[in-house]
């Protein structure tokens, strides 16, 4: 039940909380069209008429100059070197409308027909200093939305009372794929269905009539207040990001306020929850969690969760943030260290899209040492013998730049730390090592180069292509003492950027096996350019593997694929609108350190035989299948009995899956309505990370000692354990071949 909507992609990390003249208006637009044709229509249309007409927003001279400046930088510096012509103007027209009204709830086909006069002249407008068309469209949108909310608030009790939940009707989930509403009657029907779905969701979450009315009244009143506060800067930012987003999803205009937030995040000077957020339609969505951050440690918040309300403290009043700007939501979540923020979130894993849960997180900073690489040793029972496999978990590619510049003897860096961990694991006599890069969103390019040099003697690590086509190579220093034992690299859908460079290099050199799920696919480089008003983050280069293929869009494909709960249709570069494509450059001649590719078929056969009856594997794949069932839905029933049946069936199915797993693990079964036992969360340890297992294990100390004796500990990381088995299979095959 994911809904893909075109969204304002301004990435804000809550980590430690990250002269052009104005020309005359272009002549191809009739002088009277923006003011006469469209504005007069808005004034007379009873659908959008307001008791007190709003003052129309107008672009400022500063915004006009900034738009010209942005266009110039895009044309000169962006990787694609794309020309802003009629084709791009048409795409901008469509993109802007989708950003304003992604669910097609406010504009009718009549509005779109009027706006069509602007389709092929937006490019000329930006060049020549005319932003009037975009502001005209925005003013119409604002008027319609305000009129809709005012009417909805005034009539909310009556509208809710009139809803009939016995009718067999559906709500379209892929709203952006439907045509624009033909007229005001069709718009009204879409609004009715939307209200009905929201009301039904709250009913199914056990809200009574008074609570539903209070919740929705506050929500819509809050939205109305914020819409009325929209100003010319908001209109400008949405329009310009509709333009920059056409070049690629990581190219964004940052207004002065957003730019300041971005700079704060990069300085890592404020406290927060440790999450990367994005705007998706009217919702704030969790893109990923920062490893070792407060949210990651707390354990409940997940990627793709929607934040719908924020409260200060454990019992503070919840502020509904649906429809808020991203920087405003950030402002509520960010705060002083050791204070608590409560998030109300909707989980995309829930069969009821409006059933929320409260998550309390204590704000904190992320200490460098907490994000440092760590090692552990696994005793793996493989082919009737116990084997030792080392594990090095790398949550990010980090370096203390200041310490390095100052010549500190023991400054922190990924490579320096991993070198020490390798020595420690050698003392443990491990047979091989798993490099765990799950959830690693990237980091220092310098570090990924040097880290690769710990596992290969010498050579290029990555190629970087500039807009002019010139390709540069990043290589590591010669290292005759590189680690020579077999390795496997474990990745998942959240492994991105620098993680993909490392995994790709290991795969290309045939230095080890890549295991897990397809990585994120971010293979582009961004730079921040100052503007006279705000700043522009734009993509200036692209990463390529030494084998010639880019990591962009496609990511790294594992040699052995393991199941993942992350929805590849919702998370990953290839899910983003206007993402740059996958392509190739000339490969680099390089040494092959092994012949792992020749082992893949045999390893896959052995892997499948081993996991066929593994309870952790079965538990994981059955959960994935159940989630996929709902992810594929394109319509949602608005019939209460049907929805309750879906929810009940889902609960029964999940309970059956869990109990099958519990029985296989020697645990007592759980009744359908039982409160979650203290070990329930641990059952998902096999689908998260070793760190999650450790966090769950820490809670074990609170359990009754007698209970610990009776129940075997199910806290094993299936993905890590199976990767170790695969590595041991490879080691034994290579020994047999020799």
Query: Tens digits of per-residue pLDDT, 287-300?
Result: 888 877 899 888 89
Residue 607 lies in a domain: no
Q: What is the pTM of this model?
A: 0.82
Q: Which of 341, 362, 383 is the last residue of a domain?
A: 362
In the annotation, is 31 catalytic? no
Longest CA pairwise span in the chain (Å): 86
For residues 520 and 559, membership in a common domain is answered with yes
Q: Of 253-267, 288-302, 655-669, which range is least confident?
A: 253-267
Give tens-digit pLDDT for 343-398: 999 886 666 666 788 999 999 877 666 778 999 999 999 999 999 999 999 999 98
For residues 91 and 38, membership in a common domain is answered with yes
Residue 606 lies in a domain: no
For the chain, the domain total comes to 4
* pLDDT at residue number 86: 95
Q: Tokens 């439907």 sit at which residue?
A: 178
Domain of 704, in residue numbers: 615-720
Q: Pick the catalytic residue from 101, 111, 280, 508.
A: 508
Q: Answer whether residue 168 shows pLDDT above 90.
A: yes
For residues 535 and 621, membership in a common domain is answered with no
Contacts 24+ apart (CB under 8 A), 480-486: 482/453, 482/454, 482/455, 482/456, 482/457, 483/422, 483/433, 483/454, 483/455, 485/430, 485/431, 485/432, 485/433, 486/431, 486/432, 486/433, 486/512, 486/513, 486/594, 486/727, 486/730, 486/731, 486/734
Residue 410 lies in a domain: yes
In the annotation, is 508 catalytic? yes
For residues 468 and 320, membership in a common domain is answered with no
Instruction: Give Cβ neighbours of residue 717 (< 8 Å, ≥ 6 apart).
Output: 685, 686, 688, 689, 690, 692, 693
Selection from 216-220, 409-413, 440-444, 482-486 with the highest mean pLDDT: 482-486
Under DSSP, the state recorded for 53 is P
The overall average pLDDT reported for the chain is 84
For residues 341 and 307, membership in a common domain is answered with yes
Per DSSP, the chain holds a count of helices (H) and strands (E) of 22, 20
Cα 498-499-502 angle, rounded to 5 deg = 85
For residues 559 and 622, membership in a common domain is answered with no
For residues 186 and 76, membership in a common domain is answered with yes
For residues 397 and 526, membership in a common domain is answered with yes
Nearest partner of 344 among 318, 313, 316, judged by Cα:
318
The three-state (H, E, C) secondary structure of 184-197, written as one string: HHHHHHHHHHHHHH
For residues 136 and 174, membership in a common domain is answered with yes
Residue 727 lies in a domain: no
* pLDDT at residue number 34: 31
Q: Which of 542, 563, 593 is the last residue of a domain?
A: 593
Q: Pick the catalytic residue from 497, 499, 564, 637.
A: 497
Q: Which of 362, 396, 418 is the last residue of a domain?
A: 362
What does each C-alpha distance from 341 to 273, 294, 315, 318, 365 come to in angstroms? 8, 11, 9, 10, 14
- Mean pLDDT, residues 440-469 taken together: 94
CA distance 223 to 204: 24
Contact 730, 603 (CB under 8 A): yes
pLDDT band with cut points at 50, 70 and 90 for residue 276: confident
For residues 220 and 81, membership in a common domain is answered with yes
For residues 417 and 483, membership in a common domain is answered with yes
pLDDT band with cut points at 50, 70 and 90 for residue 334: confident
- Mean pLDDT, residues 326-349 taken together: 86
> Domain with 343 in it: what CATH number?
2.30.42.10
CA distance 692 to 709: 22
Under DSSP, the state recorded for 33 is I
Contact 544, 585 (CB under 8 A): yes
* pLDDT at residue number 262: 52
pLDDT band with cut points at 50, 70 and 90 for residue 705: very low
Residue 443 lies in a domain: yes
Give tens-digit pLDDT for 56-92: 999 999 999 999 999 999 999 999 989 889 999 999 9
Nearest partner of 246 among 403, 393, 82, judged by Cα:
82
Strand pairing report for 252-254 and 535-544: antiparallel
For residue 638, how far is the Cα from the chain centroid?
29
In the annotation, is 58 catalytic? no
Residue 600 lies in a domain: no
Q: Pick the catalytic residue from 297, 522, 554, 665.
A: 522
pLDDT band with cut points at 50, 70 and 90 for residue 548: very high
The SS3 assignment for 490 reads strand
Q: Tokens 């067999």 sit at which residue?
A: 168
Residue 605 lies in a domain: no
For residues 535 and 634, membership in a common domain is answered with no
Residue 726 lies in a domain: no
Give tens-digit pLDDT for 422-434: 999 999 999 999 9
């Amino acid at each position: 039940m994911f809904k893909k909507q075109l969204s304002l992609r301004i990435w804000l990390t809550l980590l430690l909380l990250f002269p052009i003249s104005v020309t005359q208006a272009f002549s191809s637009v009739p002088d009277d069209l923006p003011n006469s044709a469209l504005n007069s229509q808005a004034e007379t249309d009873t659908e959008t008429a307001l008791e007190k007409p709003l003052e129309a927003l107008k672009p400022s001279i500063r915004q006009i100059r900034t738009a010209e400046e942005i266009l110039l930088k895009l044309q000169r510096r962006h990787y694609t070197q794309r020309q802003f012509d009629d084709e791009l103007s048409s795409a901008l027209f469509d993109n802007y409308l989708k950003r304003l009204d992604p669910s097609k709830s406010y504009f009718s086909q009549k509005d779109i027909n009027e706006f069509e006069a602007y389709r092929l002249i937006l490019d000329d407008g930006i060049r020549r200093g005319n932003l009037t068309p975009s502001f005209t469209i925005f003013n119409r949108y604002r008027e319609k939305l305000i009129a809709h909310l005012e009417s909805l608030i005034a009539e909310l009790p009556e509208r809710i009372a009139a809803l009939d939940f016995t009718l067999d009707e559906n709500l379209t989930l892929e709203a952006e794929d439907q045509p624009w509403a033909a007229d005001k009657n069709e718009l009204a029907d879409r609004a009715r269905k939307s209200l009905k779905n929201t009301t039904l969701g709250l009913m199914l979450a056990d809200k009574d009539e008074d609570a539903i009315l209070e919740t929705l009244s506050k929500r819509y009143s809050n939205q109305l207040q914020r819409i009325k506060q929209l100003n010319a800067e908001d209109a400008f930012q949405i329009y310009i990001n509709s333009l920059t987003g056409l070049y690629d999803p990581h190219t964004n205009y940052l207004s002065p306020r957003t730019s300041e937030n971005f700079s704060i995040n990069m300085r890592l000077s404020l406290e927060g929850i440790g999450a990367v957020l994005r705007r998706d339609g009217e919702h704030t969505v969790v893109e990923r969690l920062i490893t070792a951050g407060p949210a990651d440690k707390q354990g409940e918040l997940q990627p793709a969760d929607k934040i719908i309300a924020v409260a200060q403290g454990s019992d503070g009043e919840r502020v509904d943030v649906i429809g808020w700007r991203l920087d405003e939501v950030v402002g509520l979540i960010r705060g002083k260290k050791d204070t608590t923020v409560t998030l109300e979130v909707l989980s995309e894993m829930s069969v009821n899209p409006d059933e929320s849960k409260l998550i309390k997180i204590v704000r904190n900073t992320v200490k460098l040492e907490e994000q440092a690489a760590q090692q552990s040793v696994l005793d793996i029972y493989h082919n009737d013998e116990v084997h030792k496999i080392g594990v090095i978990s790398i949550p990010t590619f980090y370096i203390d730049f200041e310490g390095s510049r100052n010549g500190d003897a023991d400054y922190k860096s990924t490579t320096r730390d991993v070198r020490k961990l390798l020595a420690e694991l050698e003392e443990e006599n491990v047979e091989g090592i798993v490099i765990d890069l799950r959830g690693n969103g990237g980091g220092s390019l310098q570090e990924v180069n040097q880290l690769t040099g710990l596992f290969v003697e010498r050579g290029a690590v990555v190629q970087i292509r500039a807009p002019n086509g010139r390709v540069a190579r990043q290589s590591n220093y010669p290292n005759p003492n590189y680690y020579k034992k077999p390795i496997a690299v474990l990745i998942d859908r959240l492994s991105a950027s620098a993680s993909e460079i490392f995994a790709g290099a290991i795969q290309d050199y045939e230095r080890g096996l890549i295991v897990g799920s397809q990585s994120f696919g971010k293979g582009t480089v961004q730079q921040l350019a100052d503007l006279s008003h705000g700043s522009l983050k734009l993509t200036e280069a692209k990463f390529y593997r030494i084998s010639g293929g880019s990591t962009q869009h496609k990511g790294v494909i594992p040699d052995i694929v393991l199941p993942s709960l992350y929805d590849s249709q919702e998370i990953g570069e290839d899910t983003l609108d206007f993402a740059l494509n996958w392509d190739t450059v000339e490969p680099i001649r390089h040494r092959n350190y092994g012949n792992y590719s020749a082992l893949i078929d045999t390893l896959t056969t052995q892997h499948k035989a081993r996991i066929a009856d593994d309870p952790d594997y079965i538990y994981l794949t059955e959960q994935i299948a159940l989630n996929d069932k709902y992810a594929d839905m394109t319509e949602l029933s608005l019939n209460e009995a049907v929805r309750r049946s879906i929810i009940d069936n889902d609960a029964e199915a999940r309970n059956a899956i869990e109990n099958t797993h519990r029985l296989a693990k020697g645990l007592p079964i759980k009744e359908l309505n039982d409160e979650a036992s203290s070990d329930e969360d641990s059952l998902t340890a096999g689908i998260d990370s070793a760190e999650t297992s450790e966090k769950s294990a820490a809670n074990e100390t609170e359990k009754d000692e007698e209970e610990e004796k009776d129940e075997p500990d199910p806290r094993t990381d299936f993905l890590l354990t199976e990767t170790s088995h695969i590595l041991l299979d490879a080691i034994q095959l290579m020994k047999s071949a020799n």
